[in-house]
Amino acid sequence: MNAATRGDAEPSGCLDEALTRALDLLAREPAQALARAHEVCATAPGHPVATLIIGMAQRMLGNGAAAVAALEPLARAQPKAGVTHYEYGLALAAAGQGEAAVRSLQRAVELSPHLPGAWRALGDHLTALGEVEAADAAYAQHIKAATRDPRLMRAAAALCANDIPTAEVLLREHLRQHPTDVAAIRMFAEVAARIGRFAEAETLLVRCLELAPGFAEARAHYATVLNRQNRHLEALREVDTLLASDAHNPGHRNLKASILVAIGEYDQASGLYGRLAAEYPRQPRLWLNYGHVLKTCGRLPEALQAYRNCINLAPHVGDAWFTLANLKTFRFSEADIDTMQRVLQRQDAPVNDRLQLHFALGKACEDAGHFEQSFQHYCQGNRLRRSQIQYDAAETSRIVERSRALYTRELFAQHAGSGSLAPDPIFVVGLPRAGSTLVDQILSSHSLVEGTMELYDMIDLARGLNRPGPGDTGGQYPEVVARLSAQELRSLGERYLEQTRVQRKTGTPYFVDKMPNNFLYAGLICLALPNAKIIDVRRHPLGCGFSVFKQHFARGQHFSYDLADIGRYYRDYFELMAHFDAVLPGRIHRVHYETLVEDTERQVRTLLEYCGLPFEETCLRFYENERAVRTASSEQVRQPIFRDGLDQWRRYEQWLEPLKIALGPVLDTHAGMTRPGN
Which H or E run contains 35? helix 30-43
Cβ pair 278, 96 in contact under 8 A? yes
Q: Are residues 562 and 470 in the same domain?
A: yes
160 domain-assigned: no
Burial class (CB in 10 A: 0-12, 13-18, 19+), 423: middle
Q: Is the pLDDT of residue 443 over 50?
A: yes
Q: Are residues 539 and 496 in the same domain?
A: yes
Better pLDDT: 677 or 23: 23
Question: Quick one: pLDDT at residue 675?
Answer: 44
Q: Are residues 533 and 580 in the same domain?
A: yes
Q: Is the pLDDT of residue 634 over 50?
A: no
CA distance 272 to 308: 20
For 641, which DSSP code? -
- Residue 538 β-bridge partners: 592
Pairing of strands 510-513, 425-430: parallel
Question: Quick one: pLDDT at residue 8?
Answer: 40
**Domain ranges, residue 331:** 315-388
What would the mean pLDDT of 220-248 be, rounded to a whole number?
93
Q: Is the pLDDT of residue 625 over 80?
A: no
pLDDT tens sequence across 382-432: 999 999 999 999 999 999 999 999 999 999 999 998 999 999 999 999 999
338 domain-assigned: yes
609 domain-assigned: yes
DSSP 124-145: HHHHHTT-HHHHHHHHHHHHHH
52 domain-assigned: no
- Phi first, then psi: what are they for 95, rounded to 5°? -90, 5
Question: Quick one: pLDDT at residue 131?
Answer: 81
Cβ pair 565, 391 in contact under 8 A? yes
What is the residue type of 176?
Answer: R
If phi over 0 gives left and psi between -120 and 50 gives alpha, with beta otherwise, what is residue 438? Answer: alpha
Cα-based torsion angle of the residue sequence 445, 448, 451, 454 in order, rounded to the nearest 10 degrees: -130
Question: Quick one: pLDDT at residue 448?
Answer: 97
pLDDT tens sequence across 46-77: 888 889 999 999 999 989 999 999 999 999 99
Ranges 126-135, 494-503, 668-677, most confident: 494-503
Q: Are residues 432 and 381 in the same domain?
A: no
CB atoms under 10 Å from CB of 617, counted, come to: 9
Lowest mean pLDDT among 9-13, 100-104, 121-125, 357-361: 9-13
Exposure letters 396-417 (e unless 16+ CB within 10 A, then b): beebbeebbebbeeeebeebee
What is the pLDDT confidence band of residue 127, given thresholds at 50, 70 and 90?
Answer: confident
Lowest mean pLDDT among 33-37, 465-469, 597-601: 465-469
Pairing of strands 533-538, 510-513: unpaired
540 domain-assigned: yes
Pairing of strands 533-538, 425-430: parallel
CA distance 629 to 624: 13
Exposure letters 175-190 (e unless 16+ CB within 10 A, then b): beeeeebebbbbbbbb
State the number of CA atoms in the 13 A half-sphere of 42 facing the CB: 8
Could you give the angle at the alpha carbon of 141 between the alpha carbons of 232 and 179, nearest 5°? Answer: 70
449 domain-assigned: yes
Better pLDDT: 629 or 158: 158
- Phi first, then psi: what are they for 534, rounded to 5°? -125, 125
Question: Quick one: pLDDT at residue 639?
Answer: 55
Q: Are residues 430 and 353 in the same domain?
A: no
Domain end position, chosen among 348, 371, 388? 388
Domain end position, chosen among 388, 408, 438? 388
556 domain-assigned: yes
Q: Are residues 610 and 535 in the same domain?
A: yes
Residue 318's contacts (CB-CB under 8 Å, 6 or more residues apart) are 343, 352, 353, 354, 355, 356, 357, 360
Q: Say whether the peptide bond before residue 614 is cis (omega within 30 degrees of 0).
A: no
| Among candidate residues 536, 544, 560, the one with its CA nearest the CA of residue 647 | 544
Domain end position, chosen among 366, 388, 410? 388
- Phi first, then psi: what are they for 513, rounded to 5°? -110, 110
Cβ pair 596, 646 in contact under 8 A? no
**CATH code of the domain covering residue 501:** 3.40.50.300
* Angstrom distances, CA of residue 444 to CA of 197, 298, 622: 37, 15, 8
Q: Are residues 381 and 458 in the same domain?
A: no
- Phi first, then psi: what are they for 449, rounded to 5°? -125, 140
The share of the chain scoring above pLDDT 90, in percent, equals: 64
State the number of CA atoms in the 13 A half-sphere of 583 facing the CB: 19
The number of folded domains in the chain is: 2
CA distance 518 to 512: 12
Q: Are residues 381 and 437 in the same domain?
A: no
Cβ pair 474, 483 in contact under 8 A? yes
Q: Are residues 424 and 467 in the same domain?
A: yes
pLDDT tens sequence across 458-485: 999 999 998 765 555 568 899 999 999 9
Residue 368's contacts (CB-CB under 8 Å, 6 or more residues apart) are none
CB atoms under 10 Å from CB of 627, counted, come to: 21
Q: Is the pLDDT of residue 674 over 60?
A: no
Q: Are residues 491 and 579 in the same domain?
A: yes
Q: Are residues 369 and 429 in the same domain?
A: no
Q: Is the pLDDT of residue 28 over 50?
A: yes
128 domain-assigned: no
Q: Over the chain, what is the mean pLDDT? A: 89
What would the mean pLDDT of 162-190 be, rounded to a whole number?
89
What is the pLDDT confidence band of residue 644, given thresholds at 50, 70 and 90?
Answer: low
Q: Are residues 375 and 489 in the same domain?
A: no
